[in-house]
Chain A
Amino acid sequence: MDMSQYRELFFSETREHLNNLNQLVVELEQQPGNRETIDTLFREAHSLKGMAATMGFNRTAQLSHHLEDLLDGFRKTGVVPAATVDYLLAGIDLLEGLLDDMTAKSAERSIDEFLQRSPSTEVVLVAEADVSSPPQVNGNDDQSLPLVAVEVEPSDLVEPLANIEEPDAFQVLVSLAEGTVMASARGILVLRELEKFGELMSSKPDLDALRNGAPCQQIQAWLRTSLTKDHIEEALRKITDVAQVRFIDDRRREEVSREDAAKTIRVRTELLDQVVNLVGELITQRYLLNSAAAGRNWDELRQALGQTSRLVDDLHHHALQARLLPLESITGRLPRIVRDLSRKSGKKVTLRLTGSDVGIDRVVLEALTDPLVHLVRNAVDHGIAEEGTVTVSARREKDLVLVEVADDGNGMDSERLRSQAVEKGLLTAQQAENLSDRDALMLVCQPGFSTAAEITETSGRGVGMDVVKSAVVNLGGRLDILSAPGEGSRFQLRLPLSIAIIKILLVRCAGHPLAIPITRIDRTLGLPTAEIERSGSERVFRLGEEVLSLVSLPQLLGLPEPAVGEITFVILTELQGRKIGLEVDCFIGQREAFVKNLGFPLNHLPGLCGATVEGDGRVVFIVDPQPLLENRPLLSSN
């Protein structure tokens, strides 16, 4: 059985289990006798063990088994001794490390040292907090610890991914360079090369998938060969666009993107069913449209079109739903962070999480992870003096999600912020005076602004607040700060529920960068300028048998014509069923863009259908050539 297809699911579920473990142990620390929590903890460790063993990750399985046994002991006594909490947390940290190893496809790190530190349940029972006692091995009791090896029923064990029995067979990973064009064709050539080395047992993607144009960033292949790895690597590296060649178990290169695993999300089956149903309806609708068009029945056609657009809206809505993840997928780590921070600082801090089930777009959540941790750290470090509560909450507000990090600590003094801004020369006294209290609080988001008397090891308010703010703004959201001396602070992040992402081609047009939706592009051409001919007042060029008009995009946009080069860069688009060439200065590249809607009067300019903000803050407008072409002054086309 091929287990590789389950890898991603395994990783994402393991991550969830680890989050839960962290959270539960922190809960237990507060209520060491909560049986229900101990039971849940035990079950979490148990499922983790089963999953890891199934995948053939033996050390992870062994460590989970060890923790499971330890927890089982606590189930019997009904209490988790305070002194074992750190040990459990260290175990979870080690599991996280192992997860990193597995994701990076490198060998699992050693767990021996950790197992040797194991506190025996018996010792703990007798002498509650004595962790300094030497590790004990107890042979009489079935539940005794530590465990040296895990026994897993052979039927559960499948061929582990990380090593394979046959000595001359191994797994090779070929990564293509970013931006590789025609990756599936390139993939076929890579497979063909691999076949030359010996027996290509299987690959992912395989030849059929590639023939069907499957996306191909990386090829994973099982190879049986007598050739050396160096020889194979050398040959593969010569292929155009091959960026990296790796062999599994090769620990020299470990930087496999961990992002891949995080990109897997689970979708409720009902949602998937709804999507499938909608697509089914659309297919039916297509027949209706076809027959209405064939019969030139305009009423029917209009009706069918109306129905189609309703279905497409529905489908869009459902597809966006599939991107939503609960906030808790990123708040899981917070209890642990707060616990560690309050320990270090000697403050007594309680963390409250509400609205963790509120769904937020995956992309938004990813970008929110660090800012949220930062805000919580700040709240503990600077908000709370000795003792207090940090609340992280989320709720829907129409099309927005409000995520709030609040503390009941010192609060911020806008007057003090004003005077500090003046001292630092960020504002003149007059400007500071004119600042509203709200705006004065926002001063902490100025790069380098810090109000903490001393900057602690973990955070300094102001250090990084600018990062928090720009992360929120870049997502199309807003940051507000509500605070007053003695009244605590509230950092409110208003974020879009879902965001629109489209694929665009960036081009330069009369010197300006512009974006064109990929859906409007048939293909791009580099046309020798010498091949452009005149036909009446029009410029035309030949493409195979066809003679196509060439229209200048700068001219359509009322911009000066760029200088003529040896090659004319052309975007082939379609206007009312006819192909037409659009000339631009040059192509910059393809990318996915987060579309921002435009306000009046930008949204009334012909051809502008949105804008996107580049990494450097530059605004690039998205141009739909269709309306521009439709409205261009008609030229004679003899």
Chain B
Amino acid sequence: MALILIFTLAEETYGLEIEAIQEVVEKPALHFVPRADGALLGAINFHGQILSLVDLPRLLGFDSEQLDHRRVVLTAEYQSLALAVTLVQRIVKLDLAALQSNLTGESKNAARGVVDMDGTLVNLLDLDEILKQLRKLYQ
């Protein structure tokens, strides 16, 4: 069993293993970044580190007007990126052995696969894919 943070991007339900998460920060002040555009919302001061805040729905092509004021800060392995999502829900225990890999091969929504959570399908977020997308944008 793994602990998974459940959140949504627009209408879709996503999950992320908590091992990849440093902290979920309540409403950190957003700082203006010159030349920031599109998926880069700005920067946050996270315990003295200046981190990029990424609009995840926008990066992945979702239409999400609202964003949760809580930010998901990833571990250093994932560049300590701060992610804005539509809604942060809760942490659940899920059995990843039941993970179904992405059969369609479709990677546009950056999911490593889906897993069932009491009838809701949870997309497991593929952080490597996120980084790849960002590198394409910010070379």
A and B touch in the complex (CB under 8 A): yes
Contacts of A109 in B (CB 8 A): none
CB contacts under 8 Å to A, within B98-127, are none
Decide if A617 touches B45 in the complex (CB within 8 Å): yes
Given contacts A600-B79, A605-B138, A611-B43, whether A512 and B52 have CB atoms under 8 Å apart is no
Assess the A558–B138 pair: CB atoms within 8 A. Answer: no
Partner of A598, one of B32, B50, B134: B50
Does A392 reach chain B (CB closer than 8 Å)? no
Chain B min CB distance to A389 (Å) = 30
- A residues within 8 A CB of B91? 434
Q: Is A272 in the interface zone, CB < 8 Å from B?
A: no
User: Are A599 and B80 neighbours in the complex by a CB distance under 8 Å?
Assistant: yes
Which chain A residue has the least Cβ–Cβ distance from B42? A619
Identify which of B34, B49, B79 contacts A623 (C-beta below 8 A): B34
B49 touching A607, Cβ below 8 Å: no
Q: A326 in the interface, Cβ–Cβ < 8 Å?
A: no
A194 to chain B, nearest CB (A): 47
Taking a contact as CB atoms under 8 Å apart, the answer to whether B138 and A601 are in contact is: yes
Chain B residues numbered 73-102 whose CB sits less than 8 Å from any CB in chain A: 79-81, 91
Does the CB pair A478–B47 fall under 8 Å? yes
Known: A600-B134, A601-B134, A619-B43. A514 touches B48 (CB 8 A): no
Q: How big is chain B's contact interface, by range?
A: 20 to 34
Q: Does A557 contact B (CB under 8 A)?
A: yes
Bound together, the chains give a CA A621 to CA B33 distance in angstroms of 7
Neighbouring B residues of A601 by C-beta, 8 Å: 40, 52, 79, 134-135, 137-138
| Range of interface residues on A (Cβ < 8 Å) | 20 to 34
> In the complex, A607 Cα to B36 Cα: how many Å?
11
B5-46 contacts to A (CB < 8 Å): 29, 31-37, 40, 43, 45
- Interface contact B32-A473, CB-CB below 8 Å: no
CB of A618 within 8 A of chain B?
Answer: yes
Contact assessment for A602 and B34 in the assembled complex, using a CB-CB cutoff below 8 Å: no
B35 close to A607 (CB less than 8 A): yes
CA A605 to CA B31, docked complex, whole Å: 15
A617 to B28, CA, bound (A): 11
| Complex Cα spacing A557 to B29, Å | 22
Residue numbers in A under 8 Å from B138 (CB-CB): 600-601, 604-605
Contact assessment for B48 and A613 in the assembled complex, using a CB-CB cutoff below 8 Å? yes
Q: Point out the residues of chain B lying under 8 angstroms from A434, CB to CB.
A: 91
Closest to A618 in B: B31
A599 touches B52 (CB 8 A): yes
Closest to A601 in B: B138
Does residue B51 face the partner (Cβ distance < 8 Å to A)? Answer: yes
CA distance A613 to B81 in the complex (A): 19
Among A528-578, those with CB < 8 Å from B are 557-559
Measured in the bound complex, the distance between the Cα atoms of B43 and A621 in whole Å is: 10
Least distance between B34 CB and chain A CB atoms (Å)? 4
In the complex where A434-B91, A613-B45, A619-B45 touch, is A557 in contact with B50 (Cβ < 8 A)? Answer: no
Instruction: Assess A512 versus B32: contact at CB under 8 Å? Given A599-B50, A611-B43.
Output: yes
Chain A residues lying within 8 Å of B32, measured Cβ to Cβ, are: 512, 621
The chain A residue sitting closest to B31, CB to CB, is: A619
Q: Is the CB of A32 closer than 8 A to any CB of chain B?
A: no
Contact between chains at B33 and A602 (CB < 8 Å): yes
* A477-B48 contact, Cβ under 8 Å, with A600-B79, A600-B134: yes
For the complex, give the distance between the alpha carbons of A623 and B34 in Å.
8
**Distance (Å) between the CB of B44 and the closest chain A CB?**
8
Residues of B within 8 A of A613 (CB): 45, 48, 50
Q: Which residues of A contact B40 (CB under 8 A)?
A: 601-602, 605
> Most chain-A CB neighbours within 10 Å: which of B36, B43, B48?
B48
Residues of A577-636 contacting chain B, CB below 8 A: 596, 598-602, 604-608, 611, 613, 617-619, 621, 623
A600 engages B52 (CB within 8 Å): yes
Q: How far is the CB of A34 from chain B (nearest CB, A)?
A: 44
4 extra A-B contacts, CB within 8 A, seeds A604-B138, A619-B43: A559-B34, A602-B40, A602-B43, A605-B40
Q: Which residues of B contact A (CB under 8 A)?
A: 29, 31-37, 40, 43, 45, 47-52, 79-81, 91, 134-135, 137-139
Between-chain CB contacts (< 8 Å), 8 pairs: A475-B48, A478-B48, A514-B34, A600-B79, A602-B52, A605-B138, A608-B34, A611-B43
